[in-house]
């Protein structure tokens, strides 16, 4: 393989167009919850499609030529969609339950399989209790998505104490609760600030547990390694270290204090088969002129042995507004997070970056303070969409055999 320059190519160069007016705005700092549209595989053609939820329930098929076309798609359940972390009992997981390459759903009151044509259909044989504190991943390395539930809630005036840890393995025709599996932590624990993801950090095909405090700019993360037969090690790994450096913003004239809560995302950015770390933060404040130099990026490449090493070469390639905290001088306009999504859009097994949101223009942050709020929304809000395809690596060309 030829190693290309790290980073992503912007939309004009790659000829990919997103459907108009589909939000990728995060409503929380939890993993991969968009509060809007989702990338997923709907129809089994191997290309990443888009499902817009909850606003304007619409499905868009990836045509393979850089565009998306609208198709009918039935959603017979309510609740917002999540693809890794479930926020509450009224929500729905998106995952491939039966390993047919199509995106199914675990929702209240049960499971729904994709028919690959026009929607999800009820499949009671795949039912499993869902609630906040759940995670979906292939726990035992058999290629099937399993369900892990670990939640603790202290008692208060409206509920009893809850302390539950359950691993349900996918058998290929349903889910089986396994009492022999152990979980070292709770994914949901009262006011616990850590967020947890199930990812294979060491390349052994078994998903490990990564814990990161999303509210801290420098808090080190923890890794609980999967032992390969009945769960995870009871304590964080002494070998795999996640040491994240503090963010140091560039001083700006007349700058307000930056409330640094960097977004942390995990993805194989350099296509070497190991999970890397992207951390990014930017902010803009309505009605103030701030130089466009505030974005802070950190990229840590997985060394495949014992942790991650910071890479300045990749940090310089993170697209602008990868994660932006929008502040306002007035309390009656909601503060929002603008968050890019990491996904393989064009099916080349290299992660891409997609941005789509409706709001103030990050490139034009000055607003006349005398204009009424509703006038601001109509005059200065607009749709912003950008696609960045990962450069990754390309195979050498075989010209002959001698």
pLDDT tens-place string over residues 238-295: 999 888 887 766 655 555 555 566 778 889 998 888 999 998 887 766 555 555 567 8
Yes or no: say if 119 and 73 are a contact pair by the CB < 8 Å rule.
Answer: yes
Chain CA centroid to CA 322, Å: 12
Better-predicted residue by pLDDT, 379 or 217: 217
Q: Give dist(CA 285, CA 257) in Å, integer.
A: 11
Better-predicted residue by pLDDT, 387 or 314: 314
**Residue 109 preceded by cis peptide, ω within 30:** yes
Q: Give dist(CA 226, CA 123) in Å, integer.
A: 30
Asked if residue 333 has pLDDT above 60, the reply is: no
pTM for this one?
0.80
Of 8-17, 175-184, 309-318, which range is least confident? Answer: 8-17
Yes or no: say if 270 and 309 are a contact pair by the CB < 8 Å rule.
Answer: no
Gyration radius of the chain over CA positions: 22
**Residue 54 preceded by cis peptide, ω within 30:** yes
Which residues have C-beta within 8 Å of that of residue 377, sequence separation ≥ 6? none
| Tokens linked to 69 | 């076309």
| Interval 307-312 mean pLDDT | 92
The residue to which tokens 């167009």 are assigned: 17
Asked if residue 9 has pLDDT above 90, the reply is: no
CB atoms within 10 A of CB 344: 17
pLDDT score of 125? 92
pLDDT score of 299? 93
Tell me which residue of 105, 102, 158, 113 sits closest to 136, measured CA to CA. Answer: 105
Helices and strands in the chain: count of H runs, count of E runs: 3, 31
DSSP 39: E
Q: What's the whole-number average pLDDT of the chain?
A: 75
Q: What is the pLDDT of residues 11-65, one digit of tens each?
A: 555 556 676 655 564 444 333 344 456 778 888 888 888 877 655 577 888 888 8
Q: Give dist(CA 312, CA 320) in Å, integer.
A: 16
Asked if residue 213 has pLDDT above 90, the reply is: no
| Tokens linked to 72 | 């009918």
Q: Give dist(CA 351, CA 309) in Å, integer.
A: 19
The residue to which tokens 């995060």 are assigned: 26
**What three-state secondary structure class fits 126?**
helix
The residue to which tokens 């939309």 are assigned: 11
**What three-state secondary structure class fits 208?**
strand
pLDDT score of 331? 47
Asked if residue 99 has pLDDT above 80, the reply is: yes
| Interval 342-359 mean pLDDT | 78
Q: How confident is the model at residue 142 (pLDDT cuts 50, 70, 90)?
A: very high
Most confident by average pLDDT, 14-18, 56-60, 157-161, 332-336? 56-60
Q: What percent of the chain has pLDDT over 90?
A: 20
The residue to which tokens 């979906």 are assigned: 136
Asked if residue 145 has pLDDT above 70, the reply is: yes
Q: Give dist(CA 8, CA 211) in Å, integer.
A: 27
pLDDT score of 32? 38
- Taking phi over 0 as left and psi of -120 to 50 as alpha, with beta for the rest, 226 belongs to beta
DSSP 90: T
Tell me which residue of 381, 389, 390 sits closest to 23, measured CA to CA. Answer: 381
pLDDT score of 150? 85
Residue-range domain boundaries for the chain: 243-391
Give the HSE-up count for residue 302: Cα atoms under 13 Å, Cβ half-sphere: 21
pLDDT score of 11? 59
């Amino acid at each position: 393989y030829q190693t290309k320059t790290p980073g992503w190519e912007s939309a004009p160069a790659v000829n990919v167009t997103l459907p108009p007016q589909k939000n990728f705005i995060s409503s929380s700092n939890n993993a991969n919850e968009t509060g809007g549209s989702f990338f997923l595989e709907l129809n089994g053609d191997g290309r990443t499609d888009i499902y817009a939820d909850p606003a304007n329930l619409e499905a868009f098929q990836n045509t393979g030529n850089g565009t998306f076309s609208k198709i009918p798609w039935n959603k017979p359940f309510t609740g917002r969609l999540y693809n890794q972390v479930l926020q509450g009992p009224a929500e729905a997981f998106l995952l491939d339950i039966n390993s047919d390459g199509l995106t199914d759903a675990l929702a209240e009151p049960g499971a729904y399989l994709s028919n690959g044509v026009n929607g999800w259909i009820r499949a009671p044989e795949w039912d499993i209790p869902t609630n906040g504190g759940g995670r979906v991943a292939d726990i035992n390395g058999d290629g099937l998505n399993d369900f892990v539930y670990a939640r603790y809630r202290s008692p208060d005036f409206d509920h009893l104490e809850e302390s539950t840890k359950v691993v349900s393995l996918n058998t290929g025709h349903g889910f089986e609760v396994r009492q022999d599996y152990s979980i070292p932590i709770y994914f949901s624990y009262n006011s616990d600030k850590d967020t947890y993801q199930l990812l294979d950090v060491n390349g052994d095909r078994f998903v490990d547990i990564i814990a990161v405090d999303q509210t801290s700019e420098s808090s080190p993360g923890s890794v609980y390694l999967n032992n390969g037969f009945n769960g995870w090690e009871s304590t964080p790994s002494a070998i795999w270290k996640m040491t994240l450096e503090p963010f140091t913003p560039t001083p700006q004239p007349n700058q307000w204090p930056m409330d640094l809560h960097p977004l942390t995302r995990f993805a194989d950015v350099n296509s070497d088969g190991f999970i890397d770390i992207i951390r990014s933060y930017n902010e803009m404040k309505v009605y103030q002129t701030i130089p466009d130099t505030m974005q802070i990026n950190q990229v840590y490449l997985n060394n495949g042995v014992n942790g991650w090493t910071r890479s300045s070469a990749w940090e310089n390639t993170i697209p602008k507004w990868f994660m932006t905290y929008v502040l306002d001088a007035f309390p009656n306009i909601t503060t929002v997070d603008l968050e890019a999504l990491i996904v393989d859009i064009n099916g080349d097994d290299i992660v891409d970056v997609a941005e789509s949101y409706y709001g103030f223009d990050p490139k034009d942050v000055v607003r006349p303070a005398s204009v009424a709020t509703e006038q601001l929304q109509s005059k200065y809000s607009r749709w912003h969409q950008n696609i960045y395809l990962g450069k990754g690596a390309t195979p050498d060309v075989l010209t002959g055999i001698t």
